[in-house]
């Protein structure tokens, strides 16, 4: 936690209450705030940096009346939360439209469920759950961030994923006061992840991308948090940066 995408199961916030007036069941961010967490991930992916956090997104959902009674987050939450973060968005129930948005590189929150439970085909359990697709690899797999999983960048076949998804909310661009990263910047919450996503987006397999990131870590060294040291300097003092080109 703290190095990649935000998670609802982060121990720092997981046990914080997530209830709205009228609820009869005790709920927490860890068990019920997948919507706010998925929204924060989409914003972070769009901006290529940290923006917002799950706790404040959860508070926004409650104060705005977007929490369902004894349930999760209403779909209308996403448009207003994205707008608050400076981003425009589009909601769709059409699988082809959702797929086109994902293939166009638009971070997309999906809501779905699977009666068979979580598997290598979908990240969904039997109850409705939100996840975020932050891109696709070179083999037609959707790159999924699941707020209930410690693992980032899980891969699922896009057709299998959408088959179990009810709708999608895609970030389509910036509003008049936002700065999203389409065609600029990098996708991911930290340097290691941005590098990994860059290689994935340019056709490398997951294993090859991981290997390339490992080589960068060896070349540049890492900081105290394990991130590639972007400010690395070559021993002769000439080359500067991740690969110290000179």
DSSP per-residue string spanning 62-86? HHTT-BPTTS-B-THHHHHHHHHTT
Cα–Cα dist 66/58, whole Å: 10
| In the predicted structure, residue 99 carries a pLDDT above the cut 50 | yes
pLDDT digits (tens, 9 = 90+) for 27-60: 999 999 999 999 999 998 887 655 679 999 999 9
pLDDT at 182 over 60: no
User: Is 50 exceeded by the pLDDT of residue 179?
Assistant: no
Tell me what pLDDT residue 143 has: 93
Closest CA to 139 of 211, 206, 195: 206
Return the pLDDT at 2: 45
Side-chain-side CA neighbours of 209 within 13 Å: the count stands at: 19
pLDDT over threshold 50, residue 156: yes
- Please return the burial class of 28, using the count of CB atoms within 10 Å of its CB with bins 0-12, 13-18 and 19+: middle
In this prediction the pTM is 0.71
Rounded-to-integer distance, Cα 18 and Cα 32, Å: 7
How many Å separate Cα 18 from the centre of its chain?
Answer: 21
How many angstroms separate the Cα of 2 from the Cα of each of 8, 109, 234?
12, 21, 29
* Residue 186 predicted with pLDDT over 90: no
Choose the weakest-confidence range: 85-89, 147-151, 204-208, 233-237.
233-237
């Amino acid at each position: 936690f703290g190095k990649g995408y935000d998670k609802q199961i982060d121990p720092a916030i997981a046990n914080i209450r997530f209830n709205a007036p009228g609820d009869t069941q005790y709920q927490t961010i860890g068990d019920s705030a997948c919507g706010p967490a998925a929204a924060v991930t989409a914003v972070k992916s769009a901006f290529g940096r940290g923006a917002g956090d799950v706790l404040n997104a959860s508070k926004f959902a409650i104060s705005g009346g977007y929490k369902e009674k004894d349930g999760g987050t209403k779909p209308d939450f996403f448009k207003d939360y994205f707008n608050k973060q400076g981003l425009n968005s589009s909601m769709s129930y059409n699988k082809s439209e959702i797929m086109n948005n994902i293939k166009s590189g638009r971070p997309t929150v999906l809501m779905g469920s699977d009666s068979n439970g979580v598997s290598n085909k979908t990240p969904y359990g039997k109850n409705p759950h939100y996840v975020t697709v932050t891109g696709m690899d070179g083999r037609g797999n959707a790159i999924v961030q699941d707020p209930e999983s410690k693992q980032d960048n899980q891969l699922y076949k896009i057709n299998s994923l959408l088959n179990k998804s009810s709708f999608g909310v895609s970030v389509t661009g910036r509003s008049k006061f936002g700065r999203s990263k389409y065609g600029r910047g990098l996708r991911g919450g930290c340097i290691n992840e941005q590098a990994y996503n860059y290689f994935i987006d340019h056709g490398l397999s997951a294993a090859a991308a991981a290997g390339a990131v490992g080589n960068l870590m060896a070349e540049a060294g890492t900081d105290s948090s394990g991130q590639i040291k972007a400010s690395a300097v070559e021993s002769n003092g000439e080359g500067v940066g991740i690969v110290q080109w000179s």
